[in-house]
Structure 1
Amino acid sequence: MAGGDLRLEDCLNRVCPWSGRPVQADSLTRYKGKTVGFCNPGCREKFEKAVNAFDAAIEGQK
């Protein structure tokens, strides 16, 4: 999900949903066509794992 073409100014949020700290340009991802930001790459990866798990559960793939 993460990509180098993402821009901080396009980010939907200004604070990390996990930590509450400001989002960083190196910690952006695209989710459902929107840019979402996190305070560090670790929080971004945690989000990506959670989303993948939910998407798989919804699709019945586990």
Structure 2
Amino acid sequence: MSKLRREDAVNADCPWSGEPISRDALTLYRGHVVGFCNPGCRDKFERATAAFDQAIGE
């Protein structure tokens, strides 16, 4: 996987905290780079979306 870049993110601020996104807190979701203020917020998003994606798929 290629390195995710902050400038490719669909958002400038973390959806959880409202703080600016950080280079070390990016993830790929449905083909788009999404940014968060820290890895903890990113990981919380990944857990939440995985749970919903699994529930929808069942």
TM-score where L is the length of structure 2: 0.95
Q: Please state how far the C-alpha of 1:9 moved relative to its aligned partner.
A: 0.6
The structure 1 residue matched to 2:5, chosen from 1, 4, 7, is: 7
Residue 59 of structure 1 deviates from its aligned partner by 1.0
Percent identity over the alignment is 59
Find the counterpart in structure 2 of residue 33 from structure 1: 31
Work out which of the residue numbers 19, 34, 42 in structure 2 matches 1:44.
Answer: 42
Residue 54 (structure 1) aligned with residue 52 (structure 2)? yes
1:48 shift after superposition: 0.1
Give the gaps of 5 or more residues in structure 2. Answer: none
Task: Flag the 1:4–1:38 CA change in 2: closer, same or farther, 3 A.
Answer: farther
Q: What's the C-alpha RMSD, in Å, of the aligned pairs?
A: 1.2
Superposed CA deviations along residues 13-49 of structure 1, whole A, max 9, x for unmatched, are: 0000000000000000000100000000000000000
Letter in 2 for 1:46: K
Task: Report how many aligned residue pairs link the two structures.
Answer: 58
